[in-house]
Amino acid sequence: MINIVLFGPPGAGKGTQAEFLKVKFNLFHISTGDVFRFNIKNNTSLGLMAKSFIDKGDLVPDQVTIDMLNEVVRKNLDSNGFIFDGFPRTNNQALALDKLMEENNSTISAMIALEVDDKALIARLLERGKTSGRVDDSNEEIIQNRISEYYKKTAILKDFYMKKNRYFGVDGQGSIEHITNRLSSVIESL
Ligand code: ADP
C-alpha cells in the first residue's frame, strides 16, 4: 500500500491535488472535511455536532474525527492505498493514524506538504467562498481562525513525520499542473 498524508494549511490546495493524484496512483481519497460536509448536508447527528465547530473555523474534537476516519479506512482496506486530506490535524490524530495503519500491517509512506504563504491562502479562500457556499469560507475572521488553528495545533505534525524521515515539502504556488507534477515526483520516488 502507498499511504500519503497530503498536508498544508487551509486553502493550500490539498483537495484539488488529491483529485488528480487519486486517479494517477489509484488511491482512495479521504477528505475529513468532505465527510463532515456530507454529514451536515444529510442532517446526521455527526453532521449536526461537527457543524458547530466547522462554521466557526474551529477543529472538530479529536475522538469524533478519529472514530469517523477509522470507519472510512476500515471500509476501504481493499484499496491500493489512501490519500489522507485534512487528517491528521493534531498530535492525537497522528498517533491514532499510526495505530490504525499498524493494525492493518501498513504504514504512512509520506507526508507531503503544500507550502503556500498566508496572504495567498486568505485570497484563495475568500475567492472560493464566492461560490463554495461554505460558511467557513465566507469571512476573513473565520478564515484567520482556521489558519490560526493550523499553526497552533497542526503545523507541529511536520516534526512528527520529519523524525520518521517521511516529510516532504513541495512548493504549493504555481499552476495546478505544475504542482501535481511536483507531488507526483515525490510519490514516484517512494
Ligand atoms: P480546509 O483545509 O480548507 O480548512 P477542510 O475541508 O479540510 O478544509 O476542513 C474544513 C473544516 O472541517 C475544518 O476547519 C475543521 O473544522 C473540520 N475538520 C476537517 N478535518 C478535521 C480534522 N482532521 N480534525 C478536526 N477537524 C477537522
Tens-digit pLDDT profile for residues 18-66: 999 999 999 999 999 999 999 999 999 999 999 999 999 999 999 999 9
DSSP-derived secondary structure letter, 43: T
**Which residues are the active-site residues?**
14, 89, 128, 134, 146
How many Å apart are CA 122 and CA 140, to the nearest integer? 7
All domains of the chain in start order, with CATH: 2-189 (3.40.50.300)
In the chain, the N- to C-terminal Cα span, in Å, equals: 11
Question: Ligand 1: which atom is nearest the Cα of residue 11?
Answer: 3
Closest residue CA from atom 9 of ligand 1: 33
Tens-digit pLDDT profile for residues 31-44: 999 999 999 999 99
Closest residue CA from atom 3 of ligand 1: 10
Other C-beta atoms lying within 10 Å of the C-beta of residue 129: 18
Residue 101 corresponds to which cell in the numbers above? 495503519
pLDDT at 55: 97
CA of 65 to the centre of ligand 1 (A): 10
Q: Among 30, 66, 135, 136, which residue has the most ligand 1 atoms within 8 Å of its CB, making it the best to mutate?
A: 136
pLDDT at 180: 98
